[in-house]
Structure 1
């Protein structure tokens, strides 16, 4: 077997190894945590894995290479055994290291969110080169392990243990990535806290996702790049810049990029995703993601003197080394996993109590309305209508002075009969 791309077999040999092991593209994609199209591109030589997926894919192919040798050794029997009728010793099982809550296990099927899971222990795994380590990664989180260099496993007790394992592995790296996106310590830690709180609220969905780290990373990136933070008083003043002038120049150049270019170049050069996965996570086509990376590299090279003299084909590796070497001027320490889980549960209880209280108020108002509402319908009186052709009523006319004197005289004169109206000569 020949090695032609950074320790990987030739593309046609990759496909031959997979077909010899009777594995489908979907099974390999599920074990690696990528899509079947990505594995097809790897086997055709169109693209190659990068970062942690490169190391995981190399170990996966080494495991496929060791399968025929292991089968021959099992068929021949252990050394010194001559009795073919003697029972054979049980072979050591080949374990597949699956990320906590990953959607595909060793058989390629979905893992139950509440069932037992397997967590990897990378204490005995040899460290990789710093230049090839993605931003914030502290160890390998590959999707499969062959017969060589298999990590030890320990059983997970439940969803809380799986969540804590995912948080302890991904939260520190995600805090550094959020800081590179926003340039603010408080916002970076807030983005990590918000992402993992939402992940715990929707843990069954995250546990069955093929890439739980990508699920959480997408939420954190969206929060860190939200344009509404500019209106918050706490984020109007910039944080203290890095002490190293080179780190300060790199951070200022990253923050000068547009949000979509900043996110794309961080995923490709910082995290180490390949081009199809970067395009999928940024919800763009592969061609659009490639153009964004080229434009971002050109803008960074114009602002960073160290990248100006580097050839175009080596700018990605040089930028990855600079991102790995960047050190913030303060500690980016996320909260403990138990505090994040407790905060999410406490917020859920508060929302539940608020919903129940509002429901009780609406129920009481409805009951009061039903009790005080009338039981019969009283139609309102019809409005009056004007009738034409009838003269309006008129009262007595106002008395004149002469008429008033005559009226007073008639009331005060005691005489009655015809003599009352007899004229007198005065």
Structure 2
């Protein structure tokens, strides 16, 4: 009997098995002079599909957390600075709160700004020095001055300066900005800012000669700002107020738009669709006596009547025509 041998080849597809490499069971011998790595020297293998996150990467803050951090860092100092500009405690708090409300409304842009604190400070100063505050009834009456006489004199000297000079003096000698930054924040050229600063210092030194030194003026401004207990509102209150203001103005805009659309629709429905000739205006008729009844005689009429009655008997003879 002849036996045929099946040629060598791959096994049938149904009986295929995956081959895997077997790891050696015995540990690999290290060369002389080297020791096997311990647990501390072994680095974990990176897992496939997961990005490597460095451990020293800062934690990402939410917009609300970043805003609260900026508010906690800047708000107390801004309230004291705006108090030096206005001399009013409530107005200083209101200006700072309004500035941070605007910052929360424009938070993506403010967060990407190179100086968010400077952005908020500029808006707070603008709100504090707005000329429209003079028309508000509660800002017409003066507030109680500081208790210290020296503080009262310094605050009075500041408030007598023009707003632009006062702002320049507070930024340079109070906040500590340099001259180009002060000029940029006050929207003036550097020579103009230097001139304002010089005139402001001279005006303050004329009232308070002991503050002619810029270092002494800087120290007294800090003492005056720190003497008043000026607190700021909570950041959650500011964010909530900003959101409520946005909702109010959004609803007001929607209501105004609906009113305009309704008035336009009503006009289109009630307006005439064809030409109607206008009615000629009325004209007064002349030459017609006024309608009126007999009234009492005036003094002139009575005098004329008496004159006619007297002239009936003594007048000229009546002329009669004669036939010829």
**2:291 matched residue in structure 1:** none
Residues in 1 aligned to 2:147 and 2:115: alpha-carbon distance in whole angstroms: 35
Residues in 1 aligned to 2:59 and 2:215: alpha-carbon distance in whole angstroms: 35
Q: Is the 8 A contact 2:169 2:197 kept in 1?
A: yes
Q: Say if 2:242 is the partner of 1:341.
A: no
Q: Say if 2:91 is the partner of 1:187.
A: yes
Q: What's the Cα RMSD here?
A: 2.7
Distance change (3 Å), C-alpha of 1:162 and 1:379: same
What is the CA-CA distance between 1:367 and the residue it aligns to?
2.7
Q: Aligned runs of 1:148-297 on 2, under 5 Å?
A: 155-156=60-61, 158-297=62-201
Out of 273, 277, 285, the residue aligned to residue 380 of structure 1 is 277
Residues in 2 aligned to 1:372 and 1:237: alpha-carbon distance in whole angstroms: 53
Residues in 1 aligned to 2:278 and 2:83: alpha-carbon distance in whole angstroms: 73
Distance change (3 Å), C-alpha of 1:363 and 1:277: same
**1:331 matched residue in structure 2:** 229
Distance change (3 Å), C-alpha of 1:192 and 1:374: same
Residues 30-68 of structure 1 show CA distances to partners (whole Å, capped at 9, x for unaligned) of: xxxxxxxxxxxxxxxxxxxxxxxxxxxxxxxxxxxxxxx
**2:263 matched residue in structure 1:** 365
The number of residue pairs the alignment matches comes to 232
1:326 is paired with a residue whose SS is helix
Q: Is the 8 A contact 1:275 1:286 kept in 2?
A: yes
Q: Aligned runs of 1:379-398 on 2, under 5 Å?
A: 379-380=276-277
Residues in 2 aligned to 1:155 and 1:244: alpha-carbon distance in whole angstroms: 46
Residues in 2 aligned to 1:383 and 1:291: alpha-carbon distance in whole angstroms: 71
Residues 161-206 of structure 1 show CA distances to partners (whole Å, capped at 9, x for unaligned) of: 1111111111111100000000011111111111111111111221
Residues in 1 aligned to 2:280 and 2:152: alpha-carbon distance in whole angstroms: 82
Over 6 Å off, 4+ runs: 92-95, 381-384
Residues in 2 aligned to 1:378 and 1:266: alpha-carbon distance in whole angstroms: 69
Residues in 2 aligned to 1:246 and 1:383: alpha-carbon distance in whole angstroms: 81
Which of 1 and 2 has higher RCO (CA within 8 Å, sep 6+)? 2
Ranges in structure 1 where 5+ consecutive residues have no aligned partner: 1-85, 96-152, 309-314, 385-426
Residues 245-288 of structure 1 show CA distances to partners (whole Å, capped at 9, x for unaligned) of: 22222111111211111100110111110111111111112122
2:122 is paired with a residue whose SS is helix
1:181 is paired with a residue whose SS is helix
TM-score after normalising by structure 2: 0.65
2:165 is paired with a residue whose SS is helix
Residues 192-222 of structure 1 show CA distances to partners (whole Å, capped at 9, x for unaligned) of: 1111111111112211211111111111111
1:320 is paired with a residue whose SS is helix
Residues in 2 aligned to 1:189 and 1:278: alpha-carbon distance in whole angstroms: 23
**Considering only CA atoms, is the larger Rg found in Structure 1 or Structure 2?**
2
What is the CA-CA distance between 1:154 and the residue it aligns to?
5.1
TM-score after normalising by structure 1: 0.50
Residues in 1 aligned to 2:191 and 2:278: alpha-carbon distance in whole angstroms: 76
What is the CA-CA distance between 1:379 and the residue it aligns to?
4.5
Residues in 1 aligned to 2:134 and 2:278: alpha-carbon distance in whole angstroms: 61
Q: Is the 8 A contact 2:81 2:225 kept in 1?
A: no
Distance change (3 Å), C-alpha of 1:178 and 1:236: same
